[in-house]
Amino acid sequence: MTSVMSPLAGRAIGLAAVPDPVFSGAMVGPGTAIDPVREPQEAVSPVDGVVVSLHPHAYVVVDGEGHGVLTHLGIDTVQLNGEGFELLVNKGDTVTRGQAVIRWNPLACEEAGKSPICPVVALEATADSLAGVIEDGDVKAGDVLFGWQ
């Protein structure tokens, strides 16, 4: 089983609370979401693996078992055109869990009129394949959010 860690510090709220129907309806995949602390922070890799997709507002890391984990920094933040996001790795890089991937400021996103809520999604997974999904309570970057079989 792969343990998927929180890429951010904040409060777990679950996907159903995400203000976007694509995420709240788990159309992208099952998982959870983090309401991040409102201070500059680094979003870290939730698993050991390879960065297969990298955008200022989102990234996907695929582990050695082929599990792809999407971390989406805020909702509709693609509309910020990368402003306020700093990429710390490159697409194709091998990363370790806990390694910084993107530096950003959730408060700046909120001030720009975007939700800072961050879905953490198991791509191409079923809800049955996840275990122990954390949907409430405070989390630190590196805390386990769910297990993936």
**Catalytic site residues?**
72
Identity at 130, one-letter amino acid code: L
Q: What is the CA radius of gyration of the chain?
A: 14
Q: Which residues contact 113 (CB under 8 A, 6 or more apart)?
A: none
Assign residue 116 a region: left if phi > 0, alpha if psi is -120 to 50, beta otherwise?
alpha
Residue 66's φ and ψ, nearest 5 degrees, are 85, 10
Do the Cβ atoms of 35 and 11 come closer than 8 Å? yes
- Kindly state the tokens that stand for 129: 């394949």
- Kindly state the tokens that stand for 141: 């970057």
- Residue 23 to residue 26: CA distance in whole angstroms: 5
Residue 74: strand, helix, or coil: coil
